[in-house]
Amino acid sequence: MSHTFSYHFRYDDNAFETETSVKQIDVEDSIGRIYAKFVDPRTAADGGVIDDSRHRLLRSKHEQFVRDALHGLSSGFAVLDASQPWLSFWSLNSLDIMNCEIDLPLRQRAFDTVKRFQDSDGGYCGGYKQLPHMAGTYASIMALVLVGGDEAFQTIDREAMYRWLMTMKQPDGSFAMHTDGEVDVRGVYCAMVIASLLNIMTPELIAGSAEFVAQCQTCEGGIGPFPGVEAHGGYTLCGLAALEILGKTELLNLGRLARWMCARQLAFEGGFNGRTNKLVDGCYSYWVGGAFPILQKALERLPSDDYLYERVALQRYVLACCQEGRMGGLRDKPGKSADLYHTMYGLLGLSLSQHYMGVDPEAQIRDTTSIYSVPARMMQWDSVPVMSNVLGAQSNMLKPVHPVYGVSLVPLAKCVKYFYSLPSLAASLS
């Protein structure tokens, strides 16, 4: 596969230099030097034809990067003391997406670590004996999904979790991130993911949440953290995914949302930025790129229509510009260091650009009132093999992942099967 690499796609500051424009041009310079290495010199006029067959996912190096982190981090990581469940989630999920073995001792270590963070009053803390936090709870639950097994699932106190979520619930349908903490779209997403996986959704829990998210859509079209604030890629994925769980994506102006999301892909770099007039960042491969499958379903577009972004260009950016070639791991952009956060979200975005994840329109479940409609609708998502598009070697292919939950399908299905065999907390969601 080849692609014309053109300097005509570069940023034009219209002869008005700003701090932002200087940074943009510097980033484009670094990316241009990388892409130029893949160009056939016989075609190198204002760019050239890129030989995409040369791209390789450095899977073994990324695996070693993650495993080294799991063996212990330096004292410099003390700043992440309140993010300990995230370290487990980022690590386990990166290994799983790359189809690397997560053996029993590693599962046990992760389980023993995460279970200590559960608070007796519900929710999970970011670190031992800290305050329960919505983000830490989300990360803990997702880590336990990847650990899997009845022993891990049985440790989750569903009743206490529900009571805690209800204490975080706000009158406008939003959720606080922790007691007396900030309120934004992340809270709604985390709460909906947790409740939908653990089978603790009730009419009281979800009341007003979809409407709150819809109010966060801005005049640009994306979704901000709360009403009246600038749209951002992370909040857009969180808001759109929460609405997909609730079955209410139609509350958004989808055309305006599509336009804003498409504008986040940068023509020269191929990757996404998270806000208007910002730099490319590998993590938005998921935070923006991962929202496109959900948008595709909301717009009722067919698989043959493909996503509304350039999948190959995103894969090229991740493979050529985000991989740390010496020590492994993925990074924000050239010149930055690799870390677990960008490794996982870069891999998620890469997977979702390789696989077409969708729901068969003819078999789509549209009921949103039954407790069991939630897992039924969520587990309809699957990969459409004929629409897969892997840049470079076929060995670059990753596991398909669920765009709403950000994990692969098998551990997700096992979690859903376990918790939906337990009694629900409500008769229906209506």
Q: Given the DSSP bridges, would you call strands 47-51 and 382-383 parallel, antiparallel or unpaired? A: unpaired
Under a CB-based contact definition with an 8 Å cutoff, are residues 91 and 66 in contact? yes
Of residues 398, 419, 357, 395, the one with CA closest to residue 94: 398
* Position 160 pLDDT exceeds 80: yes
Under a CB-based contact definition with an 8 Å cutoff, are residues 301 and 358 in contact? no
Which residues carry out catalysis?
A: 232, 275, 278, 281, 283-284, 332, 339, 342
Residue with tokens 């609708």: 377
Under a CB-based contact definition with an 8 Å cutoff, are residues 91 and 70 in contact? yes
Lowest mean pLDDT among 44-53, 76-85, 220-229, 302-311: 44-53
Q: Residue 14 in 3-state DSSP?
A: coil
List of E strands, 36-195: 47-51
For the segment 260-274, what is each residue's pLDDT rounded down to a tens digit? 999 999 999 999 999
Looking only at Cα atoms, what is the longest distance across the chain?
68
Of residues 363, 355, 365, 353, the one with CA closest to residue 400: 355
Compute the distance between CA of residue 137 and CA of residue 86 in angstroms, rounded to an integer.
9
Phi, then psi, of 359 in degrees rounded to 5: -125, 135
The pLDDT assigned to 2 comes to 55
Compute the distance between CA of residue 51 and CA of residue 4 in angstroms, rounded to an integer.
9
For the segment 398-424, what is each residue's pLDDT rounded down to a tens digit? 999 999 999 999 999 999 999 999 999
Compute the distance between CA of residue 222 and CA of residue 385 in angstroms, rounded to an integer.
30
